[in-house]
Chains A and B, each alone.
Chain A
Amino acid sequence: MRAMTYRGPYKVRVDEKPEPVIEHPNDAVVRVTRAAICGSDLHLYHGMMPDTRVGHTFGHEFVGVVEEVGPSVRNLSVGDRVMVPFNIYCGSCFFCARGLYSNCHNVNPNATAVGGIYGYSHTTGGYDGGQAQYVRVPFADVGPSVVPDWLHPEDALLCTDALATGYFGAQLAEIAEGDVVVVLGAGPVGLFAARSAWLMGAARVIVVDHLEYRLAKAREFAFAETVNFTEVDDVVLHLKKATDWLGADRVIDAVGAEADGNLLQHVTGATLKLQAGSPVALNWAIDAVRKGGTVSVMGAYGPLFTSVKFGDAVNKGLTLRMNQAPVKRQWPRLLEHVRAGYLTPRDIVTHRVPLEDVAEGYHIFSAKLDGCIKPVIVVDED
């Protein structure tokens, strides 16, 4: 089969690989129709995530058609069109039994500090991902769902991570009616978090980024006020002034490990990998939120340490909430909102590239060329 493979930092190509096989009785093999490149795939692409191996296939956002099922699979049949959450999880361990699907203990031998994720290095279990013609889907009775007939395949695709994560980020922010919500980062997750904040009763939503085209999208798609941090002297002070000197009630970090805004942090974190990413956005969140407020962290960080301003978080009495999204818990509500027109996920897709051009897709997304917000990889016919 044809599959995207990692060749080292900033290098990927499409290789011929053996098709996946059933390795466990509850596995399925899915023929991928659409996959997406996630902002967090760029951390792998940039060589930031420990134990990212040459030959590994990325891709944790994908939809497709069931090609084969293992002998113990009951809930899926060959030919079903499925959406697959980015989490790989068993459904029965201590954590899954409590709804913490993203923290499963039975799928990742490489680390206890993170659950299982498709195509996201060996640090999340060493599973090949969905930027390929076929993918192995473990625990087929637990993770995937059949795509409803009325749901557009690209809306289903975005439900597998970006939309679910953005919406989950807004939930973790504990938004109450009338709150002022700041979202750092106007990428896919930030845009979805901003849009979701309104559903939870926000009175103001302010999105911060440095890419003007993404801020324009935040105004149009997420109905948000925007701040370009390169146009203000001090973004924290700017946000304080914009919130009557109080600070925002809730701040959502939708940036993560490769934040710009502080050259030293960026170079030590994102370029030289001396810390688990550049915590610029997280530090801005801690400083821009009001005392007693909530910071929701959706940005991805590596497993190493980062230089976070923890003293400010303590002294301000903040609540810091974070997790990888347990995607499937969000789906019933998200599908209601998509059907009602409250959420319009595929509006953020800017690029559609064939699998064979995946290297150019990664470069365009990574370098943020051509107004790129969300690239989708077209693998096969639906």
Chain B
Amino acid sequence: MTDAETPYVAGPARRPVDRDALRARIPGWGADLDPADRPSYPREVYDPAATGAHWDLPEAQPELRPRERSVEHARLTPVFGTSAPLHGASGAVRRLAYRRFSEGRAAHWFLLLLGDRVDAVESHVRSLASRRPDDPITETGVLAEARAHGIASRRGRVDVRHQVLDPVVVAGPWVAAVGAGAWAVRTLVRRARR
């Protein structure tokens, strides 16, 4: 049989396998050969006693401040994360996304992404007034380029074509912020001179 015939003829029911050769080459080859004896088979196994849970419904974590939630949830979940609570303009955008749009709506996710960009700008600006302003040199980790062979590591790689866009994504908001600041100062100076 030539290669080109394979899909055009029935062939054997099962491909012949040289088990001994495979076992000699691959540690553990065939250890999980039986599909019914694999840990996630079948996908759903009803066994609530197996999880370690000793409750029917978990006790509710205290909601110490209003917690945003998806409108597809009938209630606040009994347990939730408390990292980085909503605040500022980004908080308003995110609150709108959660309150107004279900997860089925693109607007929900695009608003959340918008909130992320607003959050980054707000936080950068706020950091400038803090004792530890954002430092794009250390925070982007680019100082690793020299130690980690930045040039040699990229030689001949296909992804280098779009990596040139990465600095635009990183530096873009900074350039925009500086531009906006300069424009605002210039406008104020011109008004003052009139």
Contacts and interface: CB of A to CB of B under 8 A. Distances in A.
B36 to A, nearest CB: 11
A171 interface: yes
B77 A261 contact: no
B53 A245 contact: no
Interface residues of A, number: 113
A126 to B, nearest CB: 3
Nearest to B80: A109
A371 B30 CA distance: 31
A305 B139 contact: no
Interface string B118-158: 01101110010000001110111111110111100110011
A97 B46 contact: yes
B47 A97 contact: yes
Interface string B26-53: 1111111101001111011111100111
Contact of A304 (B109, B122, B123, B145): B109
Interface in B40-89: 40-41, 43-48, 51-59, 61-62, 67-70, 72-73, 76-84
B46 to A, nearest CB: 5
Contacts, number: 311
Nearest to A100: B44
A199 B14 CA distance: 18
Given A8-B123, A24-B61, A111 B116 contact: no
Contacts of A198: 22, 26, 28-30
Contacts of B73: 109, 112
A216 interface: no
A370 interface: yes
B53 A123 contact: no
B158 A9 contact: no
A98 B80 contact: no
B145 to A, nearest CB: 7
Given A97-B47, A359-B138, A329 B35 contact: no
Contacts of B52: 75, 91, 141-142
Contact of B76 (A50, A72, A109, A116): A109
A277 B17 CA distance: 38
Interface in A118-175: 122-123, 125-128, 138-139, 141-142, 168, 171-172, 174-175
Interface of B: 3-4, 6-7, 14-17, 22, 25-33, 35, 38-41, 43-48, 51-59, 61-62, 67-70, 72-73, 76-84, 90, 94, 98, 103, 106, 109-110, 112-113, 115-117, 119-120, 122-124, 127, 134-136, 138-145, 147-150, 153-154, 157-159, 161-163, 165-166, 169-170, 173
| CB-CB nearest 8 A-B residue pairs | A342-B28, A363-B141, A91-B53, A91-B51, A126-B81, A8-B120, A127-B81, A50-B112
Given A24-B79, A53-B119, 11 more contacts: A8-B120, A8-B134, A11-B134, A55-B83, A72-B59, A92-B56, A109-B70, A171-B38, A174-B35, A201-B33, A223-B26
